[in-house]
Amino acid sequence: QLQASGGGSVQIGGSLRLSCAASGRPFSMYAMGWFRQAPGKERQFVAAIFWNGANTYYADSVKGRFTISGNKARNTVHLQMDNLKPDDTAIYYCAADSPSTRGNPLRDHLRYDRWGQGTLVTVSS
């Protein structure tokens, strides 16, 4: 089970920090990621962290503004979002992969078979 938190409303240029904690039966995962979905749009890759080496990956639209970090031992991942823009308004979902899905690309939602409930981020002027 994944539990996301930290969403809210901020003004343009503001910051938010999202967190996601995995709980329940032991997790076997290679990567965790964040996706977002704005009203009327498809779910979009935001960022991912690959536990082997802690490599990180970002969508071009958030590169330089968002930072993903995490603690594999604690099964937690965070998304620090700075310099937020109205286009960042969306429901943000954290996700974790598993041995059966790890063959898919990190940026593909098919990579992840466990999803959090989503947390709303609203950026306004």
Render 13-47 in DSSP notation, one character per residue: T--EEEEEEE-SSPP--SEEEEEEE-TTS--EEEE
> Mean per-residue pLDDT for 81-108?
94
pLDDT per position as a tens digit, 7-65: 999 999 999 999 999 887 666 778 999 999 999 999 999 999 988 767 999 999 999 99
Residue 72, pLDDT above cutoff 90: no
Side by side, the strands of the sheet bearing 16-22 are 2-5, 16-22, 76-81, 66-71
